[in-house]
């Protein structure tokens, strides 16, 4: 994707920033990949943040000309917020090289501190414009998340645009209840129903949708810098290996998702299977898991399997032991 020409009149204009948020497994990376692969003639700098010490999301982003900056081992709304400011300040020094910034937050991010960044730091505020907070919502699991995850409610409350995703997985009655839940939290956001985040990008990008007045009505202390704390019962385990036995791996995943599915908020991985020249990507929420080949392993990249589970009260030792049993003996 090539960069669109930027005239001298627009070169000094604030760069629009779109924050992509949504709870674990809602479909944020799917949306990001749609933005990066559609022929819209614009070039974006991409910042990806994830929960867990082993990076997965960065490698789930499609191959693109865009520069992708990865921030892991910390949440963008707390421990690595300073990194976000430094990345943006670095990008601002390269005038004319991109048309906008996309930030994909971890599924556990409170969007308020992320949005604060564009008002609390003088240099960032002068050179960027927060265009919209776009929240992706999982139609199948939102009701459960609103019961047990305050971050999910915050993500809906602060959204300017809500993609009500996975509508194909629910009944009309369930969809109506989800719509009602969303409206009870945020009656102002535009709601767009989608399957696999298929949406006209003109509906979500460069729309000037962020409304500071509305945000202050939701959170009067929005412009007061503070610290965000996560619900500490949500933990992650990051697993690494070389080549895996595919039959043993699928048995392992099916067994664990059936046994621990209600407590598995997210699983995602990039896997190297024995005698398979392609990388295999697996993703799941609760007991719903899907996977497919992504692309061939490159000659200069190690054939490394990486798998992350995020959840509550999981059998962490059992997950590690089960994964280790899938290794191909050296």
Phi, psi (rounded to 5 degrees) for 225: -65, 130
Q: How would residue 53 be classed by pLDDT, with cut points 50, 70 and 90?
A: very low
Strand order in the sheet with 100-104: 68-71, 44-49, 100-104, 15-21, 128-138, 161-165, 190-193
Distance set, CA 100 to CA 15, 118, 128 (Å): 6, 14, 9
Strand order in the sheet with 305-312: 234-241, 305-312, 264-271, 278-285, 288-296
Three-state SS for 320?
Answer: helix
268, 283 in Cβ contact below 8 A? yes
- The gap from C-alpha 265 to its chain's centroid, in whole angstroms, comes to 13
Mean pLDDT, residues 287-296 taken together: 87
β-bridge partners, 17: 101, 130
DSSP structural state of residue 94: S
What span, in angstroms and rounded, lies between the C-alpha atoms of 33 and 219?
Answer: 31
Q: Which residues contact 223 (CB under 8 A, 6 or more apart)?
A: 116, 119, 120, 216
- Please state the pTM of the whole predicted model: 0.69
What span, in angstroms and rounded, lies between the C-alpha atoms of 188 and 173?
Answer: 22
Q: How would residue 69 be classed by pLDDT, with cut points 50, 70 and 90?
A: low
Range of lowest pLDDT (81-85, 173-177, 273-277): 81-85
100, 44 in Cβ contact below 8 A? yes
Distance set, CA 180 to CA 142, 151, 172, 248 (Å): 11, 19, 12, 43
Q: How would residue 96 be classed by pLDDT, with cut points 50, 70 and 90?
A: low
**Other CB atoms closer than 10 Å to residue 179's CB: what's the count?**
16
Q: Report the percent of the chain where pLDDT is more than 90.
A: 34
Mean pLDDT, residues 243-254 taken together: 95
pLDDT at 119 (0 to 100): 79
Decide which of 167 and 268 is more confident.
Answer: 167
pLDDT at 308 (0 to 100): 86
Q: How would residue 174 be classed by pLDDT, with cut points 50, 70 and 90?
A: very high
Phi, psi (rounded to 5 degrees) for 158: -90, 0
Decide which of 238 and 173 is more confident.
Answer: 173
What span, in angstroms and rounded, lies between the C-alpha atoms of 241 and 80?
Answer: 27
């Amino acid at each position: 994707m090539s960069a669109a020409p930027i005239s001298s009149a627009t070169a000094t204009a604030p760069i629009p920033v779109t924050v992509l948020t949504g709870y674990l497994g809602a479909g944020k990376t799917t949306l990001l990949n749609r933005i990066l692969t559609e022929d819209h003639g614009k070039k974006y700098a991409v910042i990806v943040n994830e929960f867990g010490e082993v990076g997965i999301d960065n490698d789930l982003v499609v191959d693109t000309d865009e520069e992708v900056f990865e921030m892991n081992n910390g949440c963008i709304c707390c421990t690595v917020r300073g990194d976000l400011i430094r990345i943006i300040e670095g990008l601002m020094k390269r005038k004319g090289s991109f048309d906008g910034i996309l930030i994909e937050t971890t599924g556990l991010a409170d969007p308020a501190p992320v949005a604060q960044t564009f008002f609390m730091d003088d240099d960032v505020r002068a050179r960027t414009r927060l265009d919209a907070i776009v929240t992706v919502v999982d139609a199948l699991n939102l009701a459960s998340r609103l019961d047990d995850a305050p971050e999910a409610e915050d993500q809906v409350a602060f959204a300017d645009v809500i993609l009500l995703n996975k509508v194909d997985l629910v009944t009309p009655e369930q969809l109506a209840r989800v719509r009602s839940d969303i409206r009870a939290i945020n009656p102002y956001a535009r709601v767009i129903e989608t399957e696999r985040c298929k949406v006209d990008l003109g509906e979500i990008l460069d729309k000037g949708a962020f409304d500071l007045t509305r945000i202050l009505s939701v959170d009067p202390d929005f412009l007061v810098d503070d610290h965000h704390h996560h619900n500490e019962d949500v933990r992650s385990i990051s697993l690494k290996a070389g080549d895996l036995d595919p039959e043993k791996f699928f048995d392992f995943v099916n067994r664990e998702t059936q046994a621990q599915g209600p407590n598995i908020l997210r699983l995602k991985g990039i896997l190297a299977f024995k005698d398979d020249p392609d990388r295999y990507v697996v993703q799941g929420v609760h007991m719903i898991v899907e996977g497919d080949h992504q692309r061939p392993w490159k000659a200069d990249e190690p054939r490394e399997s990486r798998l992350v589970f995020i959840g509550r009260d999981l059998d962490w030792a059992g997950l590690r032991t089960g994964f280790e049993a899938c290794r191909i003996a050296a």
